[in-house]
Structure 1
Amino acid sequence: MNIEKLVRNNILNLKPYTSARQSHTDGILLDANENSFGTVAEDLNDLDFNRYPDPYQKLLRKKTGDYLGIPGTNLFFGVGSDEVIDLLIRIFCEPGKDNVIVCEPTYGMYKVACDINNVEVINAPLNEKYDLDYDAIHSGVNENTKILFLCSPNNPTSNLLDKNIIRKLTAELNLIVVIDEAYIDFSGDEGFAKEALHTPNLVVTRTFSKAWGMAGLRCGYCIAQEEIIGLLFKVKMPYNINKLTSMTVAKAVDNAGVKDEYVKEIIEQREFLFDELKNNKKIINVLPSDANFISFKVENPHEVYNYLEKNGIIIRDRSGQFNFQGYLRVTVGTPEENKLFLKKLNEIL
């Protein structure tokens, strides 16, 4: 039997997303934009694992809603924000017919999720400042466009996108605007969470992977009007959030002050790293960052990456992304990790 003959063509042709942990699980890991300082999660006991978890996510929605100042009825939780992204595509896009807009260079999972679902992706590239190109987005939209994916702060360019342009697009376009705010905690900006409450076509996704230091837990969420939240609950797997995840996140939210301390330390180290990279004459460009990582441009990105890797320092080579030639991306680490990274970087440069 030839199994491939039973597989959908778009799956056979799929270029899967490459995650950081596929290639490295040890060393000085400055490649995946995790919280290098630690986690807000605490030990948990007495979970009745013999019973199924709450399919309505009541505890998570109440705790997180109270923390954000948002009604729990406007929240939906997924196995990472990636699950939310996938569900939105499945809800709003007809395979083989509809399309979505992305603004590259940006987070690669939007395209992968579309490719899996056989949904066309149209690129409306960011401008020379890596901000939104209003005209390019409008030009890309057609009668079959259902979703516009925006990442703010954007990965890998690390900048907040123009909020006025986002508001204008949301008001003008007859489609779903998804704003991925995975890195919003590091930006000093409140983001679009509150605006999603009174904007029918706006969905804001967030995660506990970055500032909260729980990347290994896999829990993300979105904020939207109740109609969209209801659709997400309609199509999700019955028990997508397990009890251990739910209780761990709830306890972390109760301990949010620790997250704030981590964010403060990360921002301090981000400024240190930025100044050191900016003052290095061998580095062509360093992008200002509103996130927990910095992207910088060098003449020989592959050589630099390989040298750091051989020395146990793992960053990400983003030089192959659209309009991002020459750039490497480093996650902000602890003071010790950052100093060692800079030392080895100076050696190869």
Structure 2
Amino acid sequence: MEFNLNKMIRPHLAGVKSYQTLRDSYINKQAVYLDANENPFGQFNRYPDGDPIQLKKILAEINQAKTENLFLGNGSDELIDLTMRIFCEPAKDSIMIMNPSFVMYEIYAKMNNVKVEKLQLNSDFQLEKEQFLDTISKSQAKVLFLCSPNNPTGNSIDDLEFYIQNFKGIVVVDEAYIEFSPEDSAVKLLNKYPNLMVLKTLSKAFGMAGLRIGVGFASAEIASLFIQLKPPYNISSESQKLALEQFNNIEQIQNNIKFILEEKKKLKEGLDQINEVVKIYPSDANFFLIEFKDAQLIYQKLLGKNILTSLRHPNLKNCLRISVGTAQENSELLKVLSEIK
């Protein structure tokens, strides 16, 4: 497909240079650091690696990608925000999102004074192809966000490639929950579509939400653009160190994912027996979107038992989003639900 990245970037960013540091060149050498006005004392006195090569190598290997196609953020949120700041002119450009979908796309658009165009999902929470083609034919949106598996609905988007190949701007496929899904990652499509970006996270399947590490994949040109324009030290030293330690036991991470999926099946069976449940929507993620007879009542009853669930999206009437927890947590949830009349 014909795609010109230079025409997508906000014009004033073309000449912006990234923050320059010598540290990366001396990372494995015994050097005297007198360049960054740091305190010479303290456990965390040095700035972290600006480009964590070792962590990127592991993530590239896990995702069968090249390190030059990879960039990191302080959570996926920073990468979503950066996407708009790099490609969208405030008060002029717009993004396109699915509705319902992850609320942070719209929140960051508002923060950046970027307009939002919405694609309404059908009753199965899928996009309609003809409606999509009609909408984009009248749209000037620069970026399309596709969350798959979608949050808060839990389903994967059918024929994802159709929407990637038919959108002329930047397509961001947000795969925060892909490790729980039977679907293939869109990372395999990077060589085919130069306008494609794929976002992942260590917060969900990898169990590192507290470390705040988002992972982006794109063409080498787009990846280098994000590395150039991101804050210089956006991943802390401790986050880098602890993430590397976690990846030393990748088998445990894989076992945890397997356990969550097994518990998910048991939780579904238990929820099917709850009288107040109207519908449990299909999910490829580590959560269920559940319609109740009275979601507000259920939410408050659970809260009264110190069980927190999500009642946030205005388009999902009488629905709660409930994560899969430990066996004990899931059992406690089902017990409380079974007692609600």
Q: What TM-score, normalized to structure 1? A: 0.82
Q: Which of 24, 29, 48 is matched with 1:53 structurally? A: 48
Cα distance change, pair 241–187 in 1 and its aligned pair in 2 (3 A): same
1:39-69 per-position Cα deviation (integer Å, ceiling 9, x unaligned): xxxxxxxx97333222222122112112222
Q: Which of 323, 328, 332 is matched with 1:336 structurally? A: 328
Q: Counterpart of 2:71?
A: 76
1:219 aligns with 2:213: yes
Q: Counterpart of 2:295?
A: 301
User: Structure 1 CA distance, aligned partners of 2:128 and 2:84?
Assistant: 23
Structure 1 residue 348, shift from structure 2 partner:
1.6
Equivalent runs, 1:11-30 vs 2, <5 Å: none
Q: Is the 8 A contact 1:64 1:253 kept in 2?
A: no
1:135 aligns with 2:127: no
Q: Secondary structure at the match of 2:176?
A: coil
AA in 1 matched with 2:256: Y
Q: Counterpart of 1:158?
A: 154
Q: Counterpart of 2:142?
A: 146
User: Structure 1 CA distance, aligned partners of 2:132 and 2:43?
Assistant: 49
Q: Which of 101, 105, 108 is matched with 1:110 structurally? A: 105
Q: Which of 311, 314, 322 is matched with 1:321 structurally? A: 314
Q: Which of 205, 209, 215 is matched with 2:199 structurally? A: 205
Structure 1 residue 250, shift from structure 2 partner:
2.0
AA in 1 matched with 2:77: D
User: Structure 2 CA distance, aligned partners of 1:172 and 1:116?
Assistant: 28
AA in 2 matched with 1:158: G
Q: Secondary structure at the match of 1:193?
A: helix
Q: Is the 8 A contact 1:97 1:144 kept in 2?
A: no
1:122 aligns with 2:122: no
User: Structure 2 CA distance, aligned partners of 1:69 and 1:232?
Assistant: 20
1:247 aligns with 2:249: no
Structure with more relative contact order (C-alpha pairs < 8 Å, separation 6 or more): 1
User: Structure 1 CA distance, aligned partners of 2:245 and 2:135?
Assistant: 43
Q: Is the 8 A contact 2:274 2:337 kept in 1?
A: no
User: Structure 1 CA distance, aligned partners of 2:61 and 2:128?
Assistant: 36
Q: Counterpart of 1:66?
A: 61
Q: How many residues align?
A: 299
Q: Is the 8 A contact 1:67 1:253 kept in 2?
A: no
Aligned-residue identity in percent = 38
Q: Counterpart of 1:183?
A: 177
AA in 1 matched with 2:157: L
RMSD value over aligned CA atoms?
A: 1.6
Extract unaligned runs of 5+ from structure 2: 1-41
Q: Counterpart of 1:174?
A: 168
Q: Which of 320, 327, 346 is matched with 2:338 structurally? A: 346
AA in 2 matched with 1:91: I
Structure 1 residue 255, shift from structure 2 partner:
1.7
AA in 2 matched with 1:68: N
Q: Secondary structure at the match of 1:124?
A: strand
Q: Secondary structure at the match of 1:321?
A: coil
Cα distance change, pair 283–143 in 1 and its aligned pair in 2 (3 A): closer
Structure 1 residue 143, shift from structure 2 partner:
5.0
1:230 aligns with 2:224: yes
User: Structure 1 CA distance, aligned partners of 2:175 and 2:116?
Assistant: 21
Bigger Rg over Cα = 2
Structure 1 residue 246, shift from structure 2 partner:
1.3
Q: Counterpart of 1:310?
A: 304
Q: Which of 252, 273, 282 is matched with 1:279 structurally? A: 273
Q: Secondary structure at the match of 1:247?
A: helix
Q: Is the 8 A contact 1:176 1:203 kept in 2?
A: yes
Q: Is the 8 A contact 2:275 2:338 kept in 1?
A: no
| Larger displacement relative to structure 2 (139-148 or 241-250) | 139-148
User: Structure 1 CA distance, aligned partners of 2:287 and 2:63?
Assistant: 24
Q: Secondary structure at the match of 1:77?
A: strand
User: Structure 1 CA distance, aligned partners of 2:82 and 2:105?
Assistant: 12
Extract unaligned runs of 5+ from structure 1: 1-46
Q: Which of 186, 193, 211 is matched with 2:187 structurally? A: 193
AA in 2 matched with 1:343: K
Q: Counterpart of 2:25?
A: none
Q: Is the 8 A contact 1:125 1:136 kept in 2?
A: no
Structure 1 residue 274, shift from structure 2 partner:
0.9
